[in-house]
Amino acid sequence: MAEMAMQKYDEIVMKLLHYFITEEGYTPIILHGAENEIWLENLKKEHQIVRIVTNYIHNDEQLDFDLYRTKAIMKTIKQKTFSLSLNAINIFLNLGDNVHLDKYEDKHILSLNISTIKELDKNNTIKEEFPNLVKDTNFKEKGLELLMKITNDINKVNNEEAQKAEDVFKKKIPYVTYILIAINVIVFALMYILGDGSENTYTLIKFGALFGPFVKAGEYYRLITSAFLHIGPVHLLMNMYALYIIGSQVENFLGHFKYSIIYFISIITGSLLSLIINTNVVSAGASGAIFGLMGALLYFGYHYRVYLGNALKTQIIPLIALNLLLGFMIPGIDISCHIGGLVGGTLATWAIGVKDKSSAQEKINGWIMLSIFVCFLVYLAFIK
């Protein structure tokens, strides 16, 4: 009887795994020490976690401990994935007769006890979120043939997802970053060849530095040209090093075209906010665009937090915070340009989307938010 029961549970588990992985896009979560249970996640779903439990639970005390442990694991997952909230579906397949699951209520955990998949259709939440669950788990194959089909289908999906991730993370040549660095260096040299050097105010203005009265007089090109000028060799070297390190990563992850769009939008938003705050100050530098790339890296890292969760927490966010802090502490740094670029770059990445991660609705929302932000800056800079 025990062998028959295990075979029954195995078949239900295999069918549920097949459905949630191949039809709903869930991926397995690796948990050390978790026996007789399977965790799946899809952060885009209303219930981001699906947990399938075959472990025998014989009384309410054991169930209490199981639910306590489930909440603790969900808290850890929430922290690692930077999720504000997580909802889970707990599917129990082997509860004892002395277990009273119906008395347990949790707004974030839907717990169900089933002996057949069809029983899931009786729950309104499951029926609304996964209307095809029962139909898509009704296989004509049986026994070994069913096992082979499910295994092959799941492996196919996993291989496709692995290939997508490999395409995103594989090393590519950052052509655009190299071109941008070359332009900045050439312009810097020309300021000495054709002018009186990069620290001369007249030369900076002549080459297109940002200066409020001239921009408002119609020289709008300064919003962009100012990002290709630098004041002194240290300024140039610091920004070009940052552009090489951060730009190469963003271009590698998002592609040449999207990277270029983000870069120039960040230049514009950074220059606009600088224009609003520093009306009569001559300013220049690529730092607004670089902060925009940091915002792009932050947005990308959030969408790929399963892969970059630790880097997001220990590298990307601290890097942004440290640079913003330095901007407030060190005199002469145009912190408004940094903030404008950071926000603009983040919104631009939201608008153009992350491959295989962003939905059409997310991109539309991104374009709406970016448009509102740019229009607001233009209003403050030129109309108010």
Burial 285-324 (b: 16+ CB within 10 A, else e): bbbbbbbbbbbbbbbbbbbbbeebbeebeeebeebbeebb
pLDDT digits (tens, 9 = 90+) for 299-336: 998 888 766 666 666 677 787 887 777 766 667 778 89
The predicted structure's pLDDT at residue 367: 96
Residues 243 and 181: beta-carbon distance below 8 Å: yes
Catalytic residue of the set 226, 283, 338, 358? 338
**H helix or E strand, kind and range, residue 53:** strand 49-53
- Catalytic residue list contains 338: yes
The predicted structure's pLDDT at residue 140: 85
- Catalytic residue list contains 287: yes
Average pLDDT of 229-248?
Answer: 93
Question: Across the chain, what does the average pLDDT equal?
Answer: 88
Burial 220-256 (b: 16+ CB within 10 A, else e): eebbebbbbbbbeeebbebbbebbeebbbbbbbbbee
Please report which residue ranges of the chain form alpha helices under DSSP H: 2-18, 60-80, 124-129, 133-136, 143-169, 175-193, 201-207, 212-216, 222-225, 233-242, 248-254, 256-277, 287-303, 305-311, 317-329, 335-352, 360-378
Catalytic residue of the set 287, 303, 336, 358? 287
pLDDT digits (tens, 9 = 90+) for 18-68: 999 999 989 888 777 677 899 999 988 999 999 999 888 888 899 999 999
Q: How many Å apart are CA 300 and CA 355, to the nearest integer?
A: 10
Can you read off the two tokens belonging to residue 381?
């800079």
Percentage with pLDDT > 70 across the chain: 94
The predicted structure's pLDDT at residue 314: 67
pTM: 0.80
Percentage with pLDDT > 90 across the chain: 57
> Residue 260 above 80 pLDDT?
yes
pLDDT digits (tens, 9 = 90+) for 180-233: 999 999 999 999 999 999 999 999 999 999 999 999 999 999 999 999 999 999
pLDDT band at 3; cut points 50, 70, 90: very low
